[in-house]
Amino acid sequence: MTRESGEPREMERALDLLFGANRPRRSGAEAFRREVREAFRRRALETHPDRAQALGRSESSLADEFRSIFEAYQFLSREEAPPAPRPVAQRPRERASRPPRDHLSRAPLPQRTLLFAEFLYYSGRASWRNLVEAVAWQRRQRPSIGRIAVEWGHLSDDEVREILERRRRDGAEEPFGEYARRQGFLSGGQLLALLGRQRRLQRRIGQFFVEVGIVGEQEIPGLDADLSRHNARWRRSA
């Protein structure tokens, strides 16, 4: 579907969902589609229902938002040429070249238990984008449940492929391990053991903030202690 197809409103809505005010600046259809893919990957990290606990939001609200983001991505991926920028979105050259402004939380610590990355965000030490990037970083480098299950002899390579294919056909959005358990490939006890192994093998998320220079290595023990005190307080009051 091209821009001449009579759907300017849908085009504007899709652009707003994926890019906000930071519209694509590259010229040419292929460059535009690359920007669409990059924007979708970024927005998917911010809205995927699997991250509800880490983001402190409900799975249902994230699912609705993620669905809208995916539909916008599908619509823009069909475009043959990038849309002309709206006049209201035009800015002076020196401002348009700046990266989008990120923000730090000014809200008090939530009255609930927190994960380490959330604690840094609500403490004003890291931005929302930092939190999203940290979760993505940790997820990329941890081994998959399927791989661990094969190494432990709980599943074969063919069974992993079958589970993935079934999940794709069913359109299931639940994690691989939970889907495999529900389909009878894994027992509840096996899944718990696999999840525990996965957590032990993944690098601690605090290392991300050290590597990008947000906190120092020597600060981690103190931050861990502060987080433990906060969580202990709200576990007692729960």
Residues of the chain with pLDDT under 50: 1-6, 81, 83, 86-101
Shared-domain flag, residues 125 and 202 = yes
C-alpha distances in angstroms, 228 versus 144, 197, 211? Answer: 28, 23, 23
The answer to the question of residue 47 being in a domain is: yes
- Tell me, yes or no, whether 226 and 139 share the same domain: yes
Long-range contacts, 34-37 (Cβ 8 Å, 24+): 36/73, 36/76, 36/77, 36/79, 37/73, 37/77
Is 48 a member of any domain? Answer: yes
Give the pLDDT confidence of 164-203 residue by residue, as tens digits: 999 889 888 888 899 999 999 999 999 999 888 888 887 8
Residues 35 and 128 in one domain: no
If asked whether residues 120 and 201 sit together in one domain, one would say: yes
Statement to judge: residues 129 and 188 lie in one domain: yes
> How many other β-carbons are positioned within 10 Å of the β-carbon of residue 217?
11
Q: Are residue 48 and residue 131 in the same domain, yes or no?
A: no
**pLDDT value of position 93:** 40
Indicate whether 106 belongs to any domain. Answer: no
- Structural domain boundaries, residue 219: 116-237
Instruction: Note the pLDDT of residue 179.
Output: 92
Inside any domain, residue 140: yes
